[in-house]
Amino acid sequence: MVAEHGLDQRFFPLIFDSIPHGIFTIDEQGQITSFNKAAESLTGYERHEVIGKYCHDIFKADICLNDCPLRRSIHTGERTKDREVMVQKKSGRRIPISISTAALVDDQNNILGGVEMFHDLSVVWELRKKIHMKYIFEDIVSKSPKMELVFDMLPLIANSPSTVLIEGDSGTGKELVAQAVHNLSPRKDKPFVAINCGALPDELLESELFGYKKGAFTGAIQNKPGRFALAEKGTLFLDEVSDLSAAMQVKLLRVIQEREYEPLGGTETVKMDVRIIAATNRDLAKLVKDNSFRQDLYFRLNVIKIHLPPLSERREDIPLLVQHFIDRFNALQGRRISQCSEKVMSTLMGYSFPGNVRELENAIEHAFVLCISDTIQLEDLPPHIVSSAQGTLSTPEFVEEKRSPLDNAEAETLTRVLRKNKGNRNLTAAELGISRNTLWRKMKRFDLLGELPAES
């Protein structure tokens, strides 16, 4: 019997079994009606074991009961494409797969059931994990050359007892870096205590730092240890140290110099063994020149300095950070958002982020509240970010941009490293961890061959 279009229907089962992706069909009740060889191989089940069974009893996917895409396709006609889910093999091992679903419809437009195609993502997930770990240091996410220099320094800084000064704009992750220094240090098993020096008036700040004795002032009905006591043998993180008053600067200087302090209302000094890490979003050296910060305290704090660049100087990190925050909020909120749309990524790449990484994190959290699908859309972003990006659309610089956001980040990184190495492709390829031929192909792809210094 020859089919209407000339294809012998006897070949359909052969074609069905020759497709490298797993395929199965179900009827309207959700019972499996066909199961190809790739599906057998991927799941560990043989065809006779699954025919007539409900698909959720076989796959035990994390979305089967609450949000089954295949069932939705049957009921609404909506197709699902490349959705990532976790399923359970016959052996009990859980694996990630990518699924695409559609309704099965006959010539009279009657729905007969549904079809699902899937393939194993285990290798992809392993590669993602390796890439992810490569660019994560503690909880600091970056592949920026500037941040890689910081990553290289942190273990050396951590193993020293020296005081550290971290400078960077608000939202750049100063406390994360301080925590990383502590976690990598010999003090890692002792407390990490943080205090914001700009959040309290002098009287409260002094009692918070040094503690007080019973009766030191009205309301002091018992002894209270301060942050220095709580951080004993560990690390004290003094955030926004530039906001200290002149009087508190003097008191902090004495503690650092003498390694001792007096609780309020106390008569005896207390020896302390605490590593101090200070942070500021202002230029302390400039404040010293302006006579608004003590020079001697500045020198005591500035033994080792770490400068954190703003997000606007490490735009190649934005796609990495976006995925990092999507993964984090999925875990915290039990959501299944997998990505953001290309328009969203373009908008984020074009935004200035005055609030830096913290503002980007807040933007993704805002999107999680409004997003109703598995993909973050433009309308899910905070309005001020969208409107700012729309204003940028009219500028010639943005209009000329034809690459994708990820391509822009890669081209920017290539350009920076090539310029750093004065056009030397051998040094550039080695620094980027790619072959010279791959570097040449990328330069050609991004039209960089004629824009950079001649190879030295």
Mean pLDDT for 348-360 is 94
Sorted by sequence, the CB contacts under 8 Å of residue 448 that are 6+ apart come out as: 411, 414, 415, 418, 442
pLDDT of residue 396: 39
Average pLDDT over residues 410-417: 81
Average pLDDT over residues 34-55: 92
The Cα-based distances of 102 to 109, 272, 375 in angstroms read 14, 68, 19
pLDDT band at 193 (very low <50, low <70, confident <90, very high): very high
Residue identified by tokens 């990553």 is: 151
Which pLDDT value is given to residue 297? 96
pLDDT of residue 48: 92
Rounded CA-CA distance 427/419 in Å is 11
Q: How far is the C-alpha of 7 from the C-alpha of 66, rounded, in Å?
A: 40
Residue matched to tokens 């992809």 = 124
Q: Which pLDDT band holds residue 2 (cuts at 50, 70, 90)?
A: very low
pLDDT, tens digit, 9 for 90 and up, residues 296-325: 999 999 999 999 999 999 999 999 899 889
> Which of 139-148, 233-242, 285-294, 359-368 comes out lowest in average pLDDT?
139-148
Question: CA–CA separation, 164 vs 235, rounded Å?
Answer: 11
Q: What is the structure's pLDDT at 1?
A: 40
Burial (CB count <10 Å: 0-12, 13-18, 19+), residue 279: buried
- Which residues lie closer than 8 Å to 18 by C-beta, 6 or more apart? none
- What is the per-residue pLDDT for 404? 60
- Dig out the tokens for 112 from the structure: 């007969």
The percentage of residues in the chain with a pLDDT greater than 90, rounded to a whole number, is 45
Q: What is the 3-state secondary structure (H, E, C) of 156-192?
A: HHHCCCCCEEEEECCCCCHHHHHHHHHHHCCCCCCCE
Nearest to 82 by CA among 64, 69, 91, 92: 69
More reliable by pLDDT, 337 or 11: 337
- Other Cβ atoms less than 10 A from the Cβ of 260: the count is 13
Q: Which of 71, 76, 73, 95 is nearest to 84 (CA)?
A: 95
Mean pLDDT of the chain: 85
Question: Between 111 and 172, whose confidence is greater?
Answer: 172
Spell out the CATH class of 135-309: alpha beta
Calpha distance 395→392 (Å, rounded): 6
In CATH terms, the fold of domain 405-445 is Arc Repressor Mutant, subunit A (1.10.10)
Question: What are the two backbone dihedrals, phi and then psi, of residue 103, each rounded to the nearest 5 degrees?
Answer: -80, 150
Strand-pair partners of 280: 167
Residue 137 half-sphere exposure, CB side, CA atoms within 13 Å? 21
DSSP letter for 264, please: B
Judged against a pLDDT cut of 80, whether residue 68 lies above it is answered with yes
Q: CB neighbours of 423 closer than 8 A, spacing ≥ 6?
A: 452, 453, 454, 455, 456
Report whether pLDDT(382) > 90. yes
CA 391/CA 269 separation, integer angstroms: 60
Instruction: Tell which wins on pLDDT, 241 or 268.
Output: 241
Name the band, by pLDDT with cuts 50, 70 and 90, for residue 399: very low
To the question of domain 312-399 being in CATH 3.30.230.10, the answer is no
**What is the C-alpha to C-alpha distance for residues 367 and 386, in angstroms, rounded to an integer?**
12
DSSP state of 434: S
Q: Which amino acid is at 29?
A: Q
Lowest-confidence segment of 113-127, 278-292, 435-449 by average pLDDT: 435-449
Boundaries of every domain in the chain? 9-121, 135-309, 312-399, 405-445
Q: Is 364 helix (H, G, I), strand (E, B) or coil?
A: helix
- What pLDDT, on the 0 to 100 scale, is given for residue 182? 95
Mean pLDDT along residues 157-185? 95
Query: Please, which pLDDT band fits residue 454 given cuts at 50, 70 and 90?
Result: low
Transcribe 203-229 into DSSP letters. Answer: HHHHHHHH-B-TTSSTT--S-B--HHH
- Residue 134's pLDDT band (cuts 50, 70, 90): low
Residues 6+ apart with CB under 8 A from 444: none
Residue 236 and residue 195 in contact, taking contact as beta carbons nearer than 8 Å: yes
Question: What integer is the mean pLDDT of 226-233?
Answer: 94
pLDDT higher than threshold 60 for residue 213: yes
Does residue 31 surpass a pLDDT of 70? yes
Exposure string of 132-171, with b = 16+ CB inside 10 Å and e = fewer, is eeebebbebbbbbbebeebbeebeebbeeeebbbbbbbeb
Which pLDDT score is estimated for 390?
Answer: 62
What is the CATH topology of the domain spanning 9-121?
A: Beta-Lactamase (3.30.450)
Between CA 430 and CA 449 the distance in angstroms is: 18
Residue position matching structure tokens 């796959």: 59
DSSP 19-84: -SSEEEEEETTSBEEEE-HHHHHHHS--HHHHTTSBHHHHH--TTTTT--HHHHHHHH---EEEEE
